[in-house]
Amino acid sequence: MAFAMALGVTMACKKIKCEEPAPVLSYDTLMLDDTRENLVFKTEFEDCQGDIGNLGAVDSNTIRSVRTFLFEQIDGEWKRWYPANLADTSSFFSVIPASKKNREGWLLKGTVVQSFPLVQLYQGRDTIRLETYILDQAGNKSNRVQSVPYVFQF
């Protein structure tokens, strides 16, 4: 099943002395968009090295810097959802576009906005959540952040 996802990123930079190599991610929002047909998942990030995002063309070999996973609540426990065809999970992975200001010693802050069609998120369970992490250009992995639960309204 192909999942459509829109990724929006906003960024700002500030010069600092960097100690932390991995990006830091924090949960922001999980909400329906204005059409009430898409679930929007927002996270905030900070990266001390300012090396978030891909400079240049994106193709099938480009590292997917945003990795998001779907979890379903089954009998009170959260279980990660796996599609029958594992290639279908690739639409949960996307590329953050780079800022031209990305450079060593600049604190880069931004927002990652992902949009998922509700009809494709529903896998037979009424309660889901999303979990994500990001990678910087050096391959450093951020902490994992999970959304609040979303309950489908039938």
pTM (predicted TM-score): 0.82
Structure tokens at 101: 């200001």
* The pLDDT of residue 94: 86
Q: Read out DSSP for 44-97?
A: EEEESS---SB-S---TTS---EEEEEEEEETTEEEE---SSGGGGGGGEE-PB
Task: With cut-offs at 50, 70 and 90, classify the pLDDT of residue 14.
Answer: low
| Domains of the chain and CATH, by start | 6-145 (2.60.40)
* The pLDDT of residue 60: 80
**Phi, psi torsion values for 92, nearest 5 degrees:** -80, -10
CA 6 from chain centre, in angstroms, equals: 10
Whether the per-residue pLDDT at 143 is higher than 70: the answer is yes
**Phi, psi torsion values for 101, nearest 5 degrees:** -90, 0
Residues 6-28, mean pLDDT to the nearest whole number: 72
